[in-house]
Structure 1
Amino acid sequence: MYRYDEFDAAFVMGRTAQFADQVKRRLSGEMTEEQFRPLRLMNGLYLQLHAYMLRIAVPYGTLSAKQMRMFAHIARTYDRGYGHFTTRQNIQFNWPRLKDVPAILEELASVEMHAIQTSGNCIRNVTADHFAGAAADEIIDPRPIAEILRQWSSLHPEFSYLPRKFKIAVTGAPNDRAAIRFHDIGLQAATNAAGDIGWEVWVGGGLGRTPMIGKLINSFVPNEHLLAYLESIMRVYNRYGRRDNKYKARIKILVHEEGLETIKGQVEAEFAEVRGGVLSLPSEEVDRITTYFAPPAFKVQPATKIDVAYQSIIDPAYGRWLDHNINSHREPGYVSVTISLKPVGGAPGDATDKQMDDIADIAERYGFDELRVTHEQNLVLPHVAITDLRVVYDALVATGFADGNTGLITDMICCPGLDFCALANARSIPLAQEISRKFAEPKRQAEIGELKIKISGCINACGHHHVGHIGILGVEKKGGELYQITLGGDATEHAAVGKIIGPGFEAEQVPGAIETLVDTYIARRQSADETFIQAYRRLGEAPFKEALYGNA
């Protein structure tokens, strides 16, 4: 895991002291809210519907038990006893008092964390596959490159005031678990004909009011030239990205309006000028950073397989957990464990201070002191010995986070919605809770199988509704809340944007509408192995639309 060097420590402490002075001037009245706004946004502090919200960066989703305990401490001391893990692999605190924010940031700095560039028109927190460095299907651990990108992008003088916010995601596996095609820049590990490992570069993806799938701008960029190539993309965007209309300011609009070939030509022209210069990335530097992400001291394990069927007979709840929350590991005898933050009736992504403390203890004892935040609002223990699975499960039962529902219908993504967000048109959390309760029965969830529901309270799509197999978007109509349903979205390597299939529903109608869609899928699927998204691609929208709306 990366550790701050002297520059990092001085940089974060300097910014913390600077912001403390800015907060002091705001509280004294020397500075108006309008003057304070750009300064607080540079430090991850938003003004939400009812209070300030502080967003803390978790670079590439990786953190230690000590850092998780700090989150618990902040929740307990400065907030209302909980935190919210987000789709950017960050954590948000929804109720900090402005006068306490400098103290929060100072305490975060003591465990090598900060809130810099978690908001504003800059390069945001770089996200990554939550199984990075552990997954059996991985070509290369992407975290060293993600860390290099973090260092390159932090306070970059040319990219501090971009036309709009900018998001980068990285994956080292062919199976995309980082949604790279829905980012401004997405990087996927690739191998050339000589066997060298480099990066596919995708550009122009994104969600929001104009969802678009990224386009492949370069099929192979070696490590040595990656920074130069990405900087070339950023320069083109910074020069030509629209600043007259924030709704058309993202790079996806630039790529769409100018065309990929035009943008590629401009990028290549920039690249020709900077390649081979100070932006070259020596292999020694990559190797140096990579040492921070060395694998833990794995031991030869007596057990290398899990008899899920047998365990399901002995203890059905444990069997479900083994079946759905375990991911294969590159090291024999180990697995990665997903901790579902989606208990039945809970608010997706929320964890209390005690739950965070307990999870930190589990990570320290059984997970080599390492945790990950996923872009689907769960947590991961990346390295757990198979022989420790039962004790880990029992410990999670005590936390309330032992649901074996990862990837199932109750494992929903959900934004904070109108309960917190000033931009939202509708509530998201109560809807997610109702759907969760409706499909709480484990037998029913197993019958349905893999199904990803994602809910957003407004068109900004923080709940990623566009890429849900079933997406739910809250809209405002005549002063009331209405919910549109989309079908067919997919955030994986089979990227697709969901399609609105008809008029919206009142909040109380949505769980029943979801049940109708599920029943239609079960009745029409070719076998129990055909997932919802597979059935939708085969059948199209017609049978689902007819089931919801009849022949109207």
Structure 2
Amino acid sequence: MSTDVEQRAAGRADRAATRPKKSNGQWKIDGREPLNGNEVFKAEDNGLNVRARIEEVYAKSGFASIDPDDLHGRFRWWGLYTQRKPGIDGGRTATLEPHELEDEYFMLRVRIDGGRLTTEQLRTIADISNEFARGTADLTDRQNIQLHWIAIEDVPEIWRRLEAVGLQTTEACGDVPRVILGSPVAGIAADELIDPTPAIEEISRRYIGDESLANLPRKYKTAITGHPSQDVVHEINDCSFVAVEHPEHGIGYDLWVGGALSTVPRFAERLGAWVAPDQVVETWLGVTEIFRDYGYRRLRNKARLKFLMAEWGLEKFREILETEYLGYRLADGPAPAKPLTEGDHVGVHRQADGKYYIGVSLIAGRASGTLLGQMVDIAEKYGSTRLRTTPHQKILFLDIPEDDIDAVVADLDAVGLSSRKDLFRRSTIACTGIEFCKLAIVETKQTAADTIATLEARLAEIDLPHPISLHLNGCPNSCARIQTADIGLKGQLVTTDDGEQKPGFQVHVGGGLASSDRDEAGLGRTVRGLKVTADDLSDYVETLVRRFLAGRSETETFSEWAHRVDDEELV
């Protein structure tokens, strides 16, 4: 005879078995009924349609006339976010409502697929920055350029100028296919395996602005590279193609799916599929449509492709892709070889045509309209009309004649652009931070600049075998990829020993991607209680670097050392 406990357990199991399964909001399984506020406004009107209202209503009637669903939702489909109101400290970020945090100005993100820019295009962005954005301009780690202080009244004219030179802000934000990361040296590098430019251009031309893909569960990030340095951080994108040579079929791409960071980081996984060059676009479309049709839409914090991938696994994902979306089986293929060179392309490098490209570092991606204009002046002075942004907040000057290299390097140095392998400038990335971002808790750009200056002065005598990456993020969302840095800094308020709250960071150490000096991608390590104030950041990093140099083995990298040593070495 069963006990009362067993009977109660059996009753719970019976009820669970008959209880309807909670919907995840997957269109192909659960139907299209909107299950949260974001899904409601997207169902009511496609985000792409807001452009007409911006041009015909809001730009004429001003900020106060903007419908809230457009302002906080659909505007993103055209690269517009309200920026943070000045003077609100980080301690109030989580306590104020969005409308209390926001100013009546916008961040505008210019979409630059593959990082490809002409000097005419960059000159246009520079002029817009100076005329409409108070001279602001930042290079992002997704190859875009962001402007601030944009008034709604000026947006139509800004679009007109951008589109006149072949640029756009279409789907630069929102639940859509975001900018396509591409190798900054596509089509020019002497050691390139394959040029991904045709695939990037076709995806952009055919599908960016396509209403059938303009309502995804959340943002969707793509990366494509044909360079052996694997220079597009493919492990942390939703869908990536990495050049590889198949022993039978030749050069094609290895397909990776389901990567993303934020508060629940997950690396993309290889599907084990080799994608021929003429299959890239339809394969990308298939993966994107899987996300649209099967992605989770009930909870926003579960709406990225990485969560579907975690549930399905590799075999099921590949089977669905091939049977429901492609209609054929992709060839099995090998993994790409480990990169042997850095993927940031800083320095002077020979092109396939005998000319040279020069990669330079800004300080944490911070530029200005004036600096962008100076970049154009320098490029055109030496006959170059092509530049590239990178996923590392760098910019490349293409097509430099060999005889002009020294002069170009000197001119770039004169405006603060370094082509040297600087100790920390080269490897530091910072997000927008509290200066403009409504989610941020701490300042990042100036903190990064101050830290770089201090560290490079104090550590001028040392010679590191590999650059040590330092990534600063203003909040937990990891726009600056803190979990994959040697030293990753997550912004938060830190309580000092005397009980005072100050801006600071939780520290992650030892992260990295295969395109850095790691054997494979790995997340940074956290140590309980390891936090540092912004004021003490330079002291902490200096101490950590000196401990590494004193305690490492001959061939040990920083990330290997950081994962090996005891907690006490990292505090």
Change in 2 beyond 3 A, CA 1:216/1:367: farther
Aligned: 1:71 with 2:125: yes
Task: Find the counterpart in structure 1 of residue 84 from structure 2.
Answer: 49
Distance 2:192 2:476 in 1: 34
Q: Which runs of 5+ in 1 are unaligned?
A: 1-12, 277-322, 343-347
Letter in 2 for 1:510: L
Task: Find the counterpart in structure 2 of residue 433 from structure 1.
Answer: 449
What is the alpha-carbon root mean square deviation over aligned residues? 2.6
Task: Report % sequence identity.
Answer: 26
Alignment map for 1:367-446 (pairs within 5 Å): 368-402=384-418, 404-405=420-421, 408=424, 411-441=427-457, 444=460
Deviation, structure 1 residue 18: 5.9
Aligned: 1:547 with 2:564: no
Distance 2:372 2:526 in 1: 37
Q: Which runs of 5+ in 2 are unaligned?
A: 1-47, 86-104, 331-344, 496-500
Per-residue displacement from partner, 1:270-312 (whole Å, max 9, x unpaired)?
2353899xxxxxxxxxxxxxxxxxxxxxxxxxxxxxxxxxxxx
Secondary structure in structure 1 of the residue aligned to 2:362: coil
Per-residue displacement from partner, 1:401-452 (whole Å, max 9, x unpaired)?
2362457456410001112100112221232122112113396275235111
Deviation, structure 1 residue 526: 3.4
Task: Find the counterpart in structure 1 of residue 492 from structure 2.
Answer: 475
Alpha-carbon contact 1:396-1:402 (below 8 Å) kept: yes
Aligned: 1:515 with 2:516: no
Per-residue displacement from partner, 1:481-507 (whole Å, max 9, x unpaired)?
331111122133432221213322222
Q: Size of the alignment, in residue pairs? A: 480
Task: Find the counterpart in structure 2 of residue 24 from structure 1.
Answer: 59
Change in 2 beyond 3 A, CA 1:18/1:140: farther
Deviation, structure 1 residue 400: 2.3
Per-residue displacement from partner, 1:38-88 (whole Å, max 9, x unpaired)?
332111110121231111111210100111111110111111113111111
Alpha-carbon contact 1:16-1:105 (below 8 Å) kept: no
Aligned: 1:337 with 2:358: yes
Task: Find the counterpart in structure 2 of residue 243 from structure 1.
Answer: 297
Distance 1:441 1:329 in 2: 34
Task: Find the counterpart in structure 2 of residue 315 from structure 1.
Answer: none
Change in 2 beyond 3 A, CA 1:28/1:474: closer
Task: Find the counterpart in structure 1 of residue 481 from structure 2.
Answer: 464
Q: Tell me whether 488-497 or 96-105 shows the greater mean CA deviation.
A: 488-497
Question: Which has more radius of gyration?
Answer: 2
Pick one of 256, 259, 264 that aligns with 2:310: 256
Distance 1:254 1:548 in 2: 35
Deviation, structure 1 residue 265: 1.8
Q: What TM-score do you get using the length of structure 2 for normalisation?
A: 0.78
Structure richer in strand, relative to its length? 2
Secondary structure in structure 1 of the residue aligned to 2:213: coil
Alignment map for 1:147-546 (pairs within 5 Å): 147-273=201-327, 325-332=347-354, 334-342=355-363, 348-366=364-382, 368-402=384-418, 404-405=420-421, 408=424, 411-441=427-457, 444=460, 447-448=463-464, 449-476=466-493, 480-493=502-515, 494-503=520-529, 504-527=531-554, 530=555, 534-537=557-560, 540-543=563-566, 545-546=567-568
Distance 2:462 2:187 in 1: 30
Change in 2 beyond 3 A, CA 1:495/1:28: closer
Distance 1:538 1:217 in 2: 31
Change in 2 beyond 3 A, CA 1:363/1:55: same
Letter in 1 for 2:481: H
Distance 1:445 1:433 in 2: 20
Alpha-carbon contact 1:336-1:381 (below 8 Å) kept: yes
Distance 2:532 2:151 in 1: 37
Distance 1:420 1:358 in 2: 24
Change in 2 beyond 3 A, CA 1:259/1:477: farther
Alpha-carbon contact 2:322-2:328 (below 8 Å) kept: no
Alignment map for 1:81-92 (pairs within 5 Å): 81-92=135-146
Letter in 2 for 1:525: R
Letter in 2 for 1:489: G
Secondary structure in structure 1 of the residue aligned to 2:55: helix
Q: What TM-score do you get using the length of structure 1 for normalisation?
A: 0.81
Letter in 2 for 1:502: R
Alpha-carbon contact 2:79-2:171 (below 8 Å) kept: yes
Letter in 1 for 2:214: S
Distance 1:86 1:456 in 2: 13
Secondary structure in structure 1 of the residue aligned to 2:231: coil
Distance 1:29 1:438 in 2: 45
Alpha-carbon contact 1:184-1:204 (below 8 Å) kept: yes
